[in-house]
């Protein structure tokens, strides 16, 4: 109260001043080349909206800040889930079209050339029982030509599906700066933690949370690689390497950051795996009109690490 009278500012204004000071203090420790980028991200409108939302959750529910960050991660995941769900719908459509084209072409060529047709070893697709490479090549070329035409007509490009899944990444980046802005506020004497962490404003003393975030990150990467066909191109390998490298770097950085940041990203990773599992459950797919796939089951978390059909 005395400080408010002395400065002539409201509590909200004082807190904003403290946050601004904290942001500048943190920015001053950054390399000069990236400090302006961090400053922009911390003050961006998206960041301010997300920060206000987190503070609103805290004020409305009365939850501690640690729990608030966890709840905020799940709420933000729910808010951004439509893009992921739509991508799953397009992916299922592409798989069904691919299987239909493959089945139609194989049966037609088998009938024309009087060749037996039967399921492959995994019982997922039909195959021609012949050693004639010319006929096999003709079948493959016909399947690819027809599939490319249909995919183009219905805009079921793999790049479009992938972009829908990663288009929310900027939101998560800005949300990290929103958490950073919050923890730059005036918490006296600390932001209470639990279990082995007494103060969420201090780094995890045993690195449990950062390492757990890294493990979940690699688990998410592994499950996503099973969704799409394996690629051995240099570009694909480079992308996988960079993604793994960035995950390792992020874990190393989180070891020096307040534990609440790792806790927030833990909720982000867990909510991502939950969403990936839910959209592969038959009942959930029925609600959103997503076509069933052969690998779907009533146990989505186990199903999450099963390969899906080829596209």
What average pLDDT does this structure show over 64-76? 91
The answer to whether 177 touches 41, Cβ cutoff 8 Å, is yes
Report the C-alpha gap between 193 and 201 in whole angstroms: 9
Residue 156, CA distances (Å) to 161, 169, 178, 220, 292 in order: 7, 21, 35, 23, 17
**CB neighbours (10 Å) of residue 147?**
19
Residue 242's pLDDT band (boundaries 50, 70, 90)? Answer: confident
* pLDDT value of position 235: 57
Q: Tens digit of pLDDT for each residue in 273-309?
A: 888 888 888 888 889 999 887 666 676 666 555 555 4
Report the C-alpha gap between 48 and 169 in whole angstroms: 17
* pLDDT value of position 198: 81
Residue 59's pLDDT band (boundaries 50, 70, 90)? Answer: very high
What average pLDDT does this structure show over 87-98? 91
Q: Give the percent of the chain with pLDDT over 90.
A: 24
Residue 209, CA distances (Å) to 192, 197, 302 in order: 16, 10, 23
Question: Dihedral, CA atoms, 185, 189, 194, 200, nearest 10 degrees?
Answer: 30
The answer to whether 292 touches 282, Cβ cutoff 8 Å, is yes
* pLDDT value of position 61: 92
Closest CA to 65 of 73, 54, 76, 74: 54
Helix (H) or strand (E) holding 126: strand 126-128
Closest CA to 300 of 289, 308, 311: 308
Q: Tens digit of pLDDT for each residue in 155-180?
A: 988 888 878 888 888 898 899 889 98
CA-CA-CA-CA torsion sign (156, 88, 291, 100)? positive
The structure's pTM equals 0.74
Residue 128's pLDDT band (boundaries 50, 70, 90)? Answer: confident
pLDDT, greater one: 104 or 254: 104
Report the C-alpha gap between 40 and 37 in whole angstroms: 5
Helix axes 169-183, 11-28, angle to 10 degrees: 110
Cα–chain center distance at 155:
22
pLDDT, greater one: 63 or 243: 63
């Amino acid at each position: 109260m005395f400080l408010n009278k002395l400065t002539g500012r409201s509590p909200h204004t004082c807190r904003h001043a403290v946050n601004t000071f904290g942001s500048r203090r943190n920015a001053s420790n950054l390399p000069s080349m990236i400090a302006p980028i961090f400053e922009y991200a911390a003050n961006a409108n998206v960041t301010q909206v997300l920060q206000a939302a987190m503070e609103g959750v805290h004020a409305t529910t009365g939850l501690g800040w640690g729990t608030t960050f966890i709840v905020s991660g799940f709420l933000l995941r729910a808010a951004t889930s439509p893009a992921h769900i739509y991508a799953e719908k397009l992916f299922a459509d592409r798989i069904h079209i691919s299987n239909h084209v493959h089945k139609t072409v194989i049966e037609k060529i088998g009938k024309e050339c009087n060749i037996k047709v039967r399921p492959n070893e995994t019982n997922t697709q039909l195959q021609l029982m012949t050693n004639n490479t010319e006929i096999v090549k003709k079948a493959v070329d016909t399947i690819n030509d027809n599939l490319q035409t249909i995919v183009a007509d219905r805009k079921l490009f793999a790049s479009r599906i992938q972009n829908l899944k990663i288009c929310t990444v900027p939101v998560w980046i800005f949300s990290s700066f929103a958490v950073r802005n919050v923890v730059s506020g005036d918490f006296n004497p600390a932001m209470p933690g639990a279990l082995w962490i007494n103060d969420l404003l201090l780094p995890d003393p045993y690195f449990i949370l950062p390492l757990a975030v890294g493990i979940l990150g690699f688990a998410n990467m592994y499950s996503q690689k099973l969704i799409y066909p394996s690629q051995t191109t240099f570009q694909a390998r480079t992308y996988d390497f960079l993604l793994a490298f960035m995950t390792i770097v992020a874990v190393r950085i989180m070891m020096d950051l307040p534990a609440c940041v790792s806790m927030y990203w833990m909720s982000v990773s867990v909510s991502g795996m939950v969403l990936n599992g839910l959209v592969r459950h038959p009942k959930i797919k029925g609600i959103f009109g997503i076509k069933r796939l052969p690998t779907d089951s009533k146990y989505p978390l186990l199903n999450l690490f099963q390969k899906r059909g080829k596209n």
